[in-house]
Amino acid sequence: MAPPASSIIHALLASAVLMHIFGCTSVPGTTVGHSQAEQPAYISIVRQDSYVTNTTYPFECRITAIDGDPRLSNHLTPGHHVVRVTTTWSNFHEDETDLAFDALAGKKYSIFAIELKPGQDPTTVTIHRLSFGEEMGLMPLELIRVPLAYILSPYFFLKVGKALVLPPSARLFENCCFLWVEDMETGEVVCGMSPRNTSR
């Protein structure tokens, strides 16, 4: 004779209480949240339209390898990493820099690249990261800048063509360029050289 339905319900309730008491309340198909120590770090190149500076922006800056692996991901496991950055400076000289640092769990890191103007004192450099509202406020200027870029494009392509035929063998001038990794939350320089610190 099958047990009454009330007995089955009571047995299930008793099992649920025991599972709750002993911490065995996981349900198949659900995932348990990662602890802080297991969270990956995040790294990216800072967009040039996300900050303003009184220096010169490089032509291009990109991550080309992480720990020697060209298969890139913005997420880093906590621990020591070497991030290779390829930078094309304003005179179209291209070089590679290895930035080695210890990534902490859950941290976000930004890679900055700037150039001093000829004769500029590094201590006068200012870098201001734009808030979302400030980026929206600058949008009308972008509507002017983009058409202007097309108007000046013949000069731009002439400059590029010259660089391709006679590629520069060095940066624009000695000690003109800075490349570093920064903690996005605190602004601390964790690797590389910025105008406000020396190489680590």
What are the extents of the domains in the chain? 35-193
> Which DSSP string corresponds to 20-88?
HHTT----TT--PPPPGGGPPEEEEEPPGGGEEESSB--SEEEEEEETTB-S--SEE-SEEEEEEEEEE
Question: Is the predicted pLDDT of residue 175 greater than 80, yes or no?
Answer: yes
Average pLDDT over residues 157-177: 72
Query: Residues of the chain with pLDDT > 90: what percent?
Result: 41
Average pLDDT over residues 49-68: 89
> Per the confidence metrics, is the pTM higher than 0.85?
no
**pLDDT tier at 116 (50, 70, 90 boundaries)?**
very high
Least confident of 21-25, 143-147, 181-185: 21-25
User: Is pLDDT larger for residue 11 or for residue 112?
Assistant: 112
Specify the pLDDT at position 159: 58
